[in-house]
Amino acid sequence: MQTYKIDNMTCGHCAGAVQKTILSVDPQATIKVDLGNREVSVDTAAGPDAIGDALKASGYESRAL
């Protein structure tokens, strides 16, 4: 399980966009969004760099926790 802090994920639309971005990297990923803490936990076969790069390309700066 990988967890990312995404400071500019501020609403439900952002959370949906983040989920869509992660699923574009790994369609089989299991994603849990904690909008209140601005965190996303991902169970995925993709590496953290692949997820981080995809999020950055979508406009969401993230850092692994």
Q: Walk me through the domains of the chain, giving residue ranges and CATH numbers.
A: 2-64 (3.30.70.100)
Q: CB-side exposure of 36: number of CA atoms within 13 Å?
A: 0
Q: What is the pLDDT of residues 10-25, one digit of tens each?
A: 999 999 999 999 999 9
Separation of alpha carbons 39 and 32, rounded Å: 8
Q: What is the pLDDT of residues 24-58, one digit of tens each?
A: 999 999 999 999 999 999 999 999 999 999 999 99
Separation of alpha carbons 38 and 63, rounded Å: 11
Separation of alpha carbons 46 and 12, rounded Å: 24
- Encoding tokens for residue 49? 């760099």
